[in-house]
């Protein structure tokens, strides 16, 4: 009988202390809000914000708004825009078809070297895109490790074709989808899949009927990220697929080419890509732009 009394007696001051501590913490937070950030932190923070925002503002200021309709309706721009949308969408589909199973493998199956496989999957995120293009040439080029057999056996040549653009964009964009889907899979409760297999469903049926609906938001977010990354791809595309108008010249390549001959057209094309990026960010605002 004495133990609960002692516990309660000892818990009282603790609880009071907790309330006091919570009150002090709340007061501290209020003082931080009222006092603002320290100057040594505020100044570099504002410089960092200006460093990120100023180029975008300059792009808007220097945009040739009066001639924008004429610039954006030219044949070259529409070719580059149409090719960019087609290739980015196709690259996203390729990434989903082979990236979602890869993410499931990384999230659900224990196997030796899983950490190494995950590192290899994320390597294109930090790999310079030009290096990625060279690697694709070494693998799928006409004299590449696999490409020579594709050429001699099936007559398939991938570099400097529209298919090459899709492969280059998928190479750099798929890690975004894999990471997003793997994170969603790890957050999803695996007991639903176990319950389905217990009731007689195969692992693939459980994946198709149970897991996919559960992780659909993560797949959608990853697909949007992959599509946006593919749309803005430059280095691997120009290295592996070249820059041929109407066949491999996407919007980033058109911007690069226009910058050398017609800077106003380059700014107009850049605004189109900027608008797409802002639209993607707005679409994912619930995932990345919430404070909590």
What is the pLDDT, as a whole number, of residue 5? 43
What integer pLDDT is reported at residue 290 of this predicted model? 54
Query: What pLDDT is recorded for position 151?
Result: 87
Burial class (CB in 10 A: 0-12, 13-18, 19+), 268: buried
- Can you spell out the DSSP letters for 193-247? HHHHHHTT--HHHHIIIIIHHHTHHHHHHHHHHHHHHHHT--HHHHHHT---TTT
Asked whether the beta carbons of 224 and 120 are under 8 A apart, the reply is no
Residue 158: which H helix or E strand, with range? none
Distance CA 262, CA 246 (A): 19
The residue ranking higher by pLDDT, 28 or 110, is: 110
The model carries a pTM of 0.78
Average pLDDT over residues 245-265: 86
Q: What angle do CA 249, 252, 257 make, to 5 degrees?
A: 70
């Amino acid at each position: 009988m004495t133990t609960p009394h002692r516990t309660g007696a000892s818990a009282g001051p603790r609880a009071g202390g907790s309330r006091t501590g919570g009150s002090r913490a709340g007061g501290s937070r209020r003082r931080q809000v009222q006092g603002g950030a320290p100057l040594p932190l505020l100044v570099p923070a504002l410089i960092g914000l200006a460093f990120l925002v100023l180029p975008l503002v300059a792009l808007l200021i220097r945009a040739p708004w009066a001639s924008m309709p004429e610039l954006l309706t030219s044949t070259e721009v529409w070719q580059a825009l149409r090719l960019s949308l087609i290739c980015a969408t196709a690259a996203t589909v390729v990434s989903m078809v082979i990236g979602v199973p890869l993410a499931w493998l990384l999230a659900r199956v224990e196997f030796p070297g899983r950490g190494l496989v995950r590192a290899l999957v994320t390597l294109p995120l930090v790999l310079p895109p030009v290096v990625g293009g060279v690697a694709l040439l070494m693998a799928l080029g006409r004299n590449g490790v696999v490409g020579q057999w594709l050429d001699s056996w099936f007559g398939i040549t991938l570099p400097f074709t529209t298919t090459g653009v899709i492969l280059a964009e998928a190479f750099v964009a798929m890690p975004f989808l894999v990471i997003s889907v793997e994170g969603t899979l790890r957050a999803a409760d695996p007991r639903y899949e176990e319950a389905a297999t217990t009731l007689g469903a195969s692992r693939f049926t459980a994946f198709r009927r149970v897991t996919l609906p559960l992780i659909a938001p993560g797949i959608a977010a990853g697909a949007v990220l992959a599509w946006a990354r593919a749309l803005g791809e430059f280095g691997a595309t120009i290295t592996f697929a070249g820059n041929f108008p109407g066949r491999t010249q996407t919007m980033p390549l058109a911007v690069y080419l226009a910058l050398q001959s017609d800077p106003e057209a380059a700014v107009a094309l850049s605004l189109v890509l900027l608008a797409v990026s802002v639209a993607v960010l707005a679409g994912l605002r619930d995932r990345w732009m919430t404070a909590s």
